Amino acid sequence: MKIRFLGAAGEVTGSCFLVETAHARFLVDCGMFQGGAAVAARNRAAFAFDPASIDFVLLTHAHIDHSGLLPRLVREGFRGPIHSTTATADLLGVMLPDSAHIQESDARRAAKRGLAGASVPIYTARDAAACLAQVEAVDYDTEIAPHRGVRCRFRDAGHILGSAIIEAWIDEGGDPTKVVFSGDLGQPGRPILRDPARIEAADLLVVESTYGDRTHSDPSGIEDAMVDVIQRTLHERGGNVVIPAFAVGRTQQIIYRIHQLARQGRLQHPKVFVDSPMATEVTRITREHMQLFDEQARELAGWHSAGTDLPWLHFTASVEESMALNNIRSGAIIISASGMCDAGRVRHHLRHNLPRRECSVLLPGYQAQGTLGRRLVEGAKRVRILGHDVPVRAAIHYFDGLSAHADRTALLDWTAAFAQPPALAFVVHGEARASHALAAALRQRPGWRVMIPARGEQVQWPDPAGTRP
């Protein structure tokens, strides 16, 4: 068996792992690279394999950095099934057409600017529709056999709705090799989603490390800080709060927390606008899968259904409504995608609110290198948005405690559930500092052998030369 690390290796985005066995060739994830113009060309580069040779895809979850190149894979010849959880399949029905729309819109803008290389979309709405026809949904904890010599099972990862840890058993003769792909793990003990499933055995482990070098802030402290930022901005300075949030997961989490704080009387009559057609659809899908949520979320949903003492909440439906938000000078909480500020409607809201000292921007999650969100976190005084040079006068607040990713403590606790150390663990999906910090901590445990694979690196198992790591 061979595993080739084609993305999310030495970086956070572009998750894609190619597994080749004696009987099958399959991918775990096929995601887009994110990080601004510096990585855009990588989403257009030729695949490192023939898409037509891939037998099937296992998808950990719907976020675009894990699923976003699937339509291109199909367009270039992949004809096999894409296996995902049922909730992920539902989310893909919203996210991939939305991504295709972005690709087509970006290509039209590039054509107007004479940028020939970017004037053709990476994929189209037709490609996304063709891709969705190949998605096959499976429930959590149900074993499937997608191909000869391969069995697998999706376990709850607690990251976003439908997110999964994948257990795969590879049979090439003799005892099967069990490979576990963590996908993106959620932070345990947080409201809304269930905690990640505990896995007790693996021969090979591929584990994420997004926050492998740090722990999240205390949730109660985060809520205090949110209240302080929102109250001061809206009621003392007379400005708006802009919250760039991923349409899947983060937006619903922010809505949950604002509702909870309003219910507790800690926020006074907040006016919340959710300006993302995709987030609106995802929120609808979320309500259809309440069985996947924890008791706190179900209790809040019941309170919301009762319809009393609710925060003012409006989902914008049209471009005109979205544009009208830019005329609001004070009193608004605007939640809009994308979460890293590099696409979608949030760019317009940032353009209109960043120059205003009375406003605040609340960044509630990871910001990849090269993104506009990362530049704001790092203190940029001026940024370029939609062709405009925009001064940054608004207050910028970064709250890592709202991240949907497990922190260092949670990652180490999750890996501690293995009854025996995996024969080899691969640390992926992290910037260098985070991956090395997590790998160093794992190596302190007796029997743990750990690799940090480079992008494009291929590992054979068992290693005939006995050199790993």
pLDDT tens readout for residues 276-330:
877 778 777 877 887 776 665 555 555 455 444 556 788 887 889 999 999 999 9
Cα distances (Å, whole numbers) of residue 240 to 82, 295, 301: 42, 32, 27
Q: How far apart are the first and last CA of the chain?
A: 16
Confidence of residue 464 (pLDDT cuts 50, 70, 90): low
Instruction: Please say whether the beta carbons of 402 and 365 come within 8 A.
Output: yes
What is the C-alpha separation between 127 and 247, in angstroms, rounded? Answer: 22
pLDDT tens readout for residues 7-51:
999 999 999 999 999 999 999 999 999 876 667 789 999 999 999
Instruction: Please say whether the beta carbons of 333 and 346 come within 8 A.
Output: no
More confident residue, 83 or 257: 83
Share the mean pLDDT of the chain.
89
What is the C-alpha separation between 370 and 237, in angstroms, rounded? Answer: 31
pLDDT above 90 (res 59): yes
Q: Which fold has domain 2-214+404-460?
A: Metallo-beta-lactamase; Chain A (3.60.15)
Instruction: Please say whether the beta carbons of 401 and 187 come within 8 A.
Output: no
pLDDT tens readout for residues 125-151:
999 999 999 999 999 999 999 999 999
Instruction: Please say whether the beta carbons of 156 and 140 come within 8 A.
Output: yes
Per-residue model confidence (pLDDT) at position 115: 75
Q: Where in the chain do CATH 3.40.50.10890 domains reside?
A: 219-402
Tokens of 224: 């205090």
CATH number listed for the domain at residues 219-402: 3.40.50.10890
pLDDT tens readout for residues 385-398:
988 999 999 999 99
What is the C-alpha separation between 12 and 366, in angstroms, rounded? Answer: 10
pLDDT tens readout for residues 146-165:
999 999 999 999 998 899 99
Confidence of residue 463 (pLDDT cuts 50, 70, 90): confident
Q: Where in the chain do CATH 3.60.15.10 domains reside?
A: 2-214+404-460
The pTM for the full model equals 0.86
CA proximity to 12, closest of 458, 369, 388:
369
Question: Averaged over 440-455, what is the pLDDT?
Answer: 97
Per-residue model confidence (pLDDT) at position 216: 85
β-pair type (424-428, 450-451)? parallel
What DSSP string describes 287-309?
Answer: HTTGGGB-HHHHHHHHHHHHTSS
Question: Averaged over 243-258, what is the pLDDT?
Answer: 81
Per-residue model confidence (pLDDT) at position 52: 98
Q: Which residues contact 89 (CB under 8 A, 6 or more apart)?
A: 135, 136, 137, 162
Tokens of 392: 């940054």
Instruction: Please say whether the beta carbons of 386 and 348 come within 8 A.
Output: yes
Distance of CA 328 to the CA centre of its chain: 30
CA proximity to 187, closest of 177, 195, 175:
195
